[in-house]
Each structure stands twice: as C-alpha cells, then as structure tokens.
Amino acid sequence: MTREKEQPSFPLIFLAFDEAHPLTSVVASEDGSRYSNFSLLRRVLRLMHGSPIFSFFMSTTGKISQFTPAPNVDVSTRIMEDQCYVIPPFVALGFDQLMEGHQVLDGSHTLDEIARDEFMVQFGRPL
C-alpha cells in the first residue's frame, strides 16, 4: 500500500521575473499564430498547477496591458474563450508600508544609525 504525498498548502518555490516586459513581445509564427515568450511561460506555469510554486512578474517600465491585455486581444485562446482567467495585477504599490510606527525623524536616531542596513531593512514593500 502506497501513501500519496500531501501537497503543501503554501508555496515552497517563488519564481521572480524582474523587468519582465521584454518577455511580452508578440511574434507571429509561420502558421500565422501569434505568441510571446510570456504566453509560453504562462502556459508552462499553468501545467504546474497544483505544485507549490508562485510566480511574480515585475516591471518598472512596462505597461499593464502587456501583462494583462483585454481578453479579446490576449494571445491565449483559452483566455479569449473564457476557459481561463488572469489574476488582476497588483499595481500602484506604495513604498515603506512597514514603516508605520517608526519615528525616524523624531531626533532619537543618528544619521549613522538610519543609514545602516539593519535599520533600513525594516522598511519597504513586504514581498
């Protein structure tokens, strides 16, 4: 008798693609279909559905429409036909959400203290 391994309920692997906008360049194949490296990567990630993997696609210079185009112009037939959906992107994220409660400018810290990594890592985006 074999036991099935239980899948963890949280991701064990995080894949981060920084400055991912070049992946979204659409090209036409010889048969006339359109694809991008982003759409191919999305397909591979979809095949791993159920695996403890979470992926991030980040870009500072790209456009939102590159990563989440309208369904009628998406290169994925499954999305165009409402068989799959794309999670809406997280946009307009602020900076220093973790700073709440810290009094940096109250005069209790020296410039040397606040310039140290140990101090600065308390702030920023909680990724």
| Cα pseudo-dihedral 30, 69, 44, 41, rounded to 10 | 70
Q: Which residues contact 74 (CB under 8 A, 6 or more apart)?
A: 80, 86
Q: For the chain, what are the domain ranges?
A: 13-92, 96-127
Specify the amino acid at residue 74.
D
Residue 76 near residue 36, CB atoms below 8 Å: no
The band of 105, judged by pLDDT with boundaries at 50, 70 and 90, is low
Average pLDDT, the chain: 77
pTM: 0.54
- Of the two residues 103 and 17, the one the predictor is more confident about is 17
